[in-house]
Amino acid sequence: MTLAGGIKSAVKSTSLISWKTTGKLQKTVTNYIQKTGLGVHSGKLSTVKIHPELAGRGRYFEFKSNIIRASIDYVKESPLCTTLCKDGYSVRTIEHLLSALEASGVDNCRIEIQSCDSDDDASVEVPIFDGSAREWMEAIRQVGLMVAKDGGGKSCEKLAPFLNEPVFVSKNDSFVAAFPSQKTKIRYGIDFSKIPAIGCQWFCSTFADDRIYDNLIASSRTFCVYEEVEKLRNAGLISGGSAENAIICSASRGWLNPPLRFDDEPCRHKVLDLIGDVSLLARSGSQGLPVAHIFAYKGGHSLHAEFVRQLNRTE
């Protein structure tokens, strides 16, 4: 087994974050996963193949022979999703896939992605499926995990970022804050006061293992407000959106495609997004989700990304 010191050269502790062993070994998938589906914003089909990878390599996308690491260093500002961009190539709507990989403990993998519609586009979108992470979790569970080995055939310890002091980022009345803790706990709130069927919701849970994510978070679908659909489509968004890949709520008529999977499904989905976004803190097969008590209110992908940038600052 390779001790944590070799990995720590790539994940250096700071006054804000200490990288400590989880007592676990880094893992990868036992076999490749292949899935094809529609992008919610582009409306285009793409195919994703998730391949096993060596310990210490972490998670990364391969698009048209270009490597884009699943790192906050490559996040590009984009509306309603998280996008990675490098050298003019981009991979869009990565958050549900990364959320499932982070939660299930796939620390190292090569994510090959290609568009089924055009070879000329420099951008591609991860499939949305039913708007949740359920299909990704089922695919991961089906192939299973194995201990990842490095190039020398040795296993590597898995590290996690432990928060040493409070962090706070905000925009208007939205915020993400985190406080030191010995366990990972997330408390998330949303407020759609003008949409009575959604209203104000809070969800809170401690994430001790992947079963909590699998049972409480993974199947929560993305949601949208019916009265905003036309505006979003005019802005070039949700071209592939439908009642098959989102739950839709009207200010006057309530939920248009019930039933919900949970009474607070919209709020749970925000937790799903948060986990995918903060997974971008991961380095060299380490855990991305910080060991901390995280509070978020009315957050979105851009605020999640700013939170990760704060955690990632060198000093």
For residue 2, what pLDDT band results from cuts at 50, 70 and 90? low
Other beta carbons within 10 angstroms of residue 77's beta carbon come to: 10
Residue 33 within a domain:
yes
Q: Please state the domain count of the chain.
A: 1
**Is pLDDT of 18 > 50?**
yes
Residue 1 within a domain:
no
> Using CA atoms, how far apart are residues 184 and 187, in angstroms rounded to an integer?
10
pLDDT number for residue 5: 45
Residue-wise pLDDT for 37-82, tens only, equals: 999 999 999 999 999 999 999 999 999 999 999 999 999 988 899 9
Residue 3 within a domain:
no
pLDDT number for residue 138: 98
Residue 192 within a domain:
yes
Residue 68 within a domain:
yes
- Of 206, 210, 217, whose CA–CA distance to 96 is shortest? 217
pLDDT number for residue 161: 98
**Taking the CA of residue 181 as centre, how many other CA atoms within 13 Å lie in the half-sphere pointing to its CB?**
18
> Using CA atoms, how far apart are residues 116 and 100, in angstroms rounded to an integer?
23
Q: CATH number, domain at 81?
A: 3.30.1700.10
pLDDT number for residue 51: 98
Stated pTM of the model:
0.95
Mean confidence (pLDDT) of the chain: 94
* % residues pLDDT > 70 (the chain): 96
Residue-wise pLDDT for 122-134, tens only, equals: 999 999 999 999 9
pLDDT number for residue 1: 58
Residue 7 within a domain:
no
Which domain covers residue 70, as residue numbers? 17-312
Higher pLDDT, 92 or 77: 92
- Of 271, 255, 251, whose CA–CA distance to 263 is shortest? 255
Residue 240 within a domain:
yes
Residue 32 within a domain:
yes
